[in-house]
Structure 1
Amino acid sequence: MVNQQELFFEAIKSALPGYQNLAQSVAEVLGVSTNEAYKKIRGDSILNLQQIVLLSNNFGVSFIYKPDQLPTVTFDYLSLDQEIPNMLLYLQDLLKNLKQIHQSKHKHITITTDDIPLFHFFKYHELTCFKLFFWSDSVMNTDVQFDPGIFGTEIINISKELNQLYLEIPCTEIWSKDTVHGTIEQIRYAFEAGYITKELAEQIIEQVRYCLTDMNMYAISSKKTIDPNHTFNWYNCDVLGSISYLVDFKDHMACYNRFNTFNYLRTEDQSYCKQTKQWMQALIMKSVSFSGQGEKHRNKYLYNAFAECDKLWREIANS
């Protein structure tokens, strides 16, 4: 019980802003002295069920108990109406998670993906709106034509904030050989199906090119901003198998697995996260580095990606 309690408080600590004291916050929620709060945090005093519920509800952190003999993992996810996906709700939840990561003193995100990580899209208005439009299955199954104006100012502002937060979090990205291909095919499909106009399709393709140019700049300097703490490592592995985000807080980890096209399953099960980290480390050993001195391989990869963009642009322009 004590081990789970210690992990629970570590998760609460990570969810708190850096300026907020853990013991004082726990004492306030439980209505106990700071000294008693410290005992709870150290594991010298056991939490009761009512206290666990109070802390979980207040800090938005789950208490996970798993009997040692049962190889089960508990995941959380944002429940969205699949008939009419609420993209504002989705982005607000994503922002809440990313803010918690950003506020942590020690953090690093490792990503394995066969689609360009969505945080890079969020820098560009039309591309952001197109991805949100495409993810809305109910919209794609109607005769509604894509218009960036259907997404309000609040969604655009949240998207830009997500992009900025992500740039300030150290990360490692492992892309597959087809990572860019998926977005290219989405644009092709949407244009051929009549969901987007020629002008918008060409504009979105151009913004995909901007994304790739950004990636090249991050990789050359091995950081995403001028701040050396915002490190960036980029790898290419031909076969990945899943889209996963692993957040390493040094004292514990959290894992996000994408499902239902854009939503994600989240767990802080440390055994699961440890296995995921080992898998990712093994992938890196088999991967080609694009960062820093990996210029030759990076240029070849980007050349092929730009060629895909140019090919689709010509198809659309000549249609």
Structure 2
Amino acid sequence: MHNQIDFFNSIKSTIPDYQNLAQTVAEVLTISTNEAYKKIRGNSILNLQQIIRLSDHFGIPFLYKPDQLPTVTFDYLSVDQEIPNMLLYLKDLLKNLQVIHLSKSKHITITTDDIPLFHFFKYPELTCFKLFYWSDSVMNADTKFDPSIFTDEIISLAKALNQLYLEIPSTEIWAKDTVHGTIEQIRYAYEARYISPILAEQIIEQVRYCLTDMNMYAIASKKTIDPSHTFNWYNCDVLGSISYLIDFKDRMACYNRFNTFNYLRTEDQPYCLQTKNWMQGLIMKSISFSGQGEKHRNKFLYHAFAECDNLIAEINRA
């Protein structure tokens, strides 16, 4: 019964304030509003078909776990690492982010040793390069990087994802070498002749623009002019994993990166709470880059910009 009440609380968090939960549930299940209220309160049990219908309609899983088994259920999108399938990946990512964006209360906390993908989605060539590098195509010696192989739809989806993320309050905990990984990817692609010197320099410049954006967000402690789009940025020497925790106030969801760019997703609340506590512990050990953390932020960005400049100098000397 408790699982059913939690299920309806999760559904409620996804619908607008003006929308009546009981009426919406009644329409989806084709039952009376009175019966819908009973199910929401837990006085009437949902059958399997009704659970499936509600889960499919609202995109909310019904989670059941026997108390004696310490198990966690994860969902994941199976996408082959091929360029044509990146469209499917971005569409699924957009659907997930739209659900978060529409929720009344939300906050994203990220731990990462790579620049969060939502930031570089603002820049077309950088976006295309990262998607190219993630794909199996980078392992094929005959494949050269060309941004034109990515459709306008992919670029539009990436920009939409960037805009949505800017409007969601967030906290990011970066590792010491978070920028280094992307710089090394560009260096490898250039040295292996997957990308031309001109394109390599253009992509490096866009990494610089991305870092300049980060600096602006950190100074203002927000990502847009809207004060509700808060941003907190931290630096931690040791992280251990790339995780995204979504806090909806009355429930949480956790996304863990795997296989380079894919993710495992769960709404198992004990697992999410454990992840939240771990992240809060990391913050306590981290250096703040936001607001008054100017000295440490400038030092971090100085080294990141220096890496970009050094790679451009290497390319120009070649």
Could you state the TM-score of these two structures normalised by the residue count of structure 1? Answer: 0.97
Unaligned runs of 5+ in 2: none
Identical pairs, percent = 80
1:130 and 1:280 mapped to 2: Cα distance?
30
Q: Matched residues in 2 for 1:85 and 1:69: separation?
A: 43
Equivalent in the alignment of 1:3: 2
Against the structure 1 CA distance between its residues 18 and 137, is the aligned structure 2 distance closer, same or farther, given a 3 Å change threshold? farther
Helix, strand or coil at the partner of 2:178: coil
Task: Judge conservation of contact 1:113–1:244 (CA < 8 Å) in 2.
Answer: yes
Indicate yes or no: 2:237 matched with 1:238.
yes
CA displacement 1:162-200 (0-9 Å, x = unmatched): 000000000000000010011001000111111100000
Preserved CA contact (<8 Å) 1:16 1:100? no
Aligned pair 1:221/2:220, yes or no? yes
> Which residue matches 1:36?
35
* RMSD over equivalenced CA pairs, Å: 1.2
CA apart distance, 1:138: 3.6
Q: In the alignment, is the contact (CA less than 8 A) between 2:90 and 2:157 conserved in 1?
A: yes
* 1:258 maps to 2:257: yes
Question: How do 1:156-305 residues align onto structure 2 when only pairs under 5 Å count?
Answer: 156-305=155-304
Instruction: Measure, in 1, the Cα distance between the counterparts of 2:180 and 2:145.
Output: 21
Q: Aligned partners of 2:309 and 2:38: how far apart in 1?
A: 62
Aligned to 2:151: 152
Counterpart amino acid of 2:167?
Answer: E
Structure 1's unaligned 5+ residue stretches are none
Question: What is the CA distance between 1:318 and its match in structure 2?
Answer: 1.1
**Does the CA contact (< 8 Å) of 1:17 and 1:100 recur in 2?**
no
Q: Secondary structure at the match of 1:12?
A: helix
Asked if the contact 1:14/1:100 (under 8 Å) is kept, the reply is no
Contact 1:85 1:136 in 2 (8 A): no
Q: What is the deviation of 1:10?
A: 2.1
Aligned partner letter, 1:276: T
Q: How is 1:84-103 mapped onto 2 (pairs within 5 angstroms)? A: 86-103=85-102
2:221–2:232 contact (8 Å) kept in structure 1 = yes
Once residues 60 and 137 of structure 2 are traced to their aligned partners in structure 1, the CA distance between those partners, rounded to angstroms, is: 32
Match of 1:126 in 2: 125
User: Conserved in 2, the CA contact under 8 Å of 1:18 and 1:104?
Assistant: no
1:312 corresponding residue in structure 2: 311
Looking at structure 2, the residues matched to 23 and 179 of structure 1 have their Cα atoms a distance apart, in angstroms, of: 46
Paired residue for 1:137?
136
Alpha-carbon displacement from aligned partner over 1:287-312 (angstroms, at most 9, x marks no partner): 00000000000000000110111111
Cα shift at 1:60: 2.0
Between the aligned partners of 1:278 and 1:303, the Cα distance in structure 2 is 31
User: 2: distance between equivalents of 1:220 and 1:270?
Assistant: 33
Structure 2 residue identity aligned to 1:188: R
Task: Report the more deviating stretch, 54-63 or 283-292.
Answer: 54-63
The residue aligned with 1:111 is 110
Residue identity matched to 2:202: Q
Instruction: Write the letter of the residue equivalent to 1:241.
Output: G
Counterpart contact for 2:252–2:269, Cα < 8 Å? yes
Distance in 1, matches of 2:2 and 2:22, equals 18
The answer on whether the counterparts of 2:138 and 2:194 sit within 8 Å (CA) in structure 1 is no
Classify 1:18/1:119 alpha carbon distance in 2 versus 1 (closer, same or farther; 3 Å).
farther
Q: Displacement, 1:251?
A: 0.2
Distance 1:13 1:139 in 2: 44
Q: Cα offset for 1:20?
A: 3.6
Name the CA distance, whole Å, in 2 between partners of 1:43 and 1:233: 39
Is 2:221–2:290's contact at 8 Å kept on the other side of the alignment? yes
The one-letter amino acid of 2:142's match is: D
| SS class of match (2:195) | coil
The equivalent of 2:68 in structure 1 is: 69
Residue aligned with 2:13, SS: helix
Contact persistence 1:255–1:268 (CA under 8 A): yes
| 3-state secondary structure, aligned to 1:81 | coil
- Counterpart code for 2:91: Q
Deviation by residue 1:13-46 (Cα, 9 ceiling, x = unmatched): 2333555432222111111111211221121211
Structure 1 residues 35-44 or 125-134, which shifts more? 35-44
Total equivalences in the alignment = 318
Alpha-carbon distance change, 139 to 261 in structure 1, aligned in 2, over 3 angstroms: same
